[in-house]
Amino acid sequence: MQTRAGTPRPITRYGNPVLHRRCADVTVFDDDLQQLIADMFASMAAADGVGLAANQIGVDARVFVVDCPDDTGNHVVAHVVNPVLDPPQDRGLEVDSEGCLSVPGVRADVGRPATASVVGVDMHGNAVRIDGTGLLARCLQHETDHLDGLLYVDRLPAKKRKKMLTESADAPSVGVTE
């Protein structure tokens, strides 16, 4: 849970190298990490998002935040440091519309498992696990993908991805601007 007031930071857009490589594991659990997480919550709120990975604000660290409901109406507000996606038992895909703060102005249908679990630690190094269904499951997978250098548009056929990135290039940025 957020512990201090954060400052919104600009959202990094598709094409920035920090979005296209695996982020570094977090090894230091200090005030700087706590402030990063607070800034991530503030940045996500300013951009009207439901999830945000650290590299989306230009930080090379395996951290994400969520403020997202599951399909039962349970609303989860949390952060995970060094998350690892635990594959679901049922590998069937659910296709739904997906968007991204780093690719503003466009959405596409993407197939993902209907349930997801992520394990990692919190800002103090304590073990955490988040189990999600519905939008929360999609968000957990989407944010973990970010930390692995993969954006949802990278999962699309090349022609569709190129068209969407062209459209997104003309869309205004979301959240705060520099």
Burial (CB < 10 A; 0-12, 13-18, 19+), residue 89, is exposed
Per-residue pLDDT of the chain (178 residues; tens, 9 = 90+): 344 689 999 999 999 999 999 999 999 999 999 999 999 999 999 999 999 999 999 999 999 999 999 999 899 999 999 999 998 877 789 999 999 999 999 999 999 999 999 999 999 999 999 999 999 999 999 999 999 999 999 999 999 999 999 999 999 999 998 7
Q: In a 3-state reduction of DSSP, which class is residue 108?
A: strand
pTM: 0.94
- Secondary structure element (H or E) that encloses residue 45, with its range: helix 31-46
pLDDT value of position 65: 98
143 catalytic? Reply is yes
Burial (CB < 10 A; 0-12, 13-18, 19+), residue 101, is buried
pLDDT value of position 4: 60
Of 94, 98, 143, 167, the catalytic one is 143
Alpha helix stretches (DSSP H) within 63-157: 134-147
Sequence-distant (6+) residues with CB within 8 A of 117 are: 85, 86, 88, 129, 130, 131, 132, 140
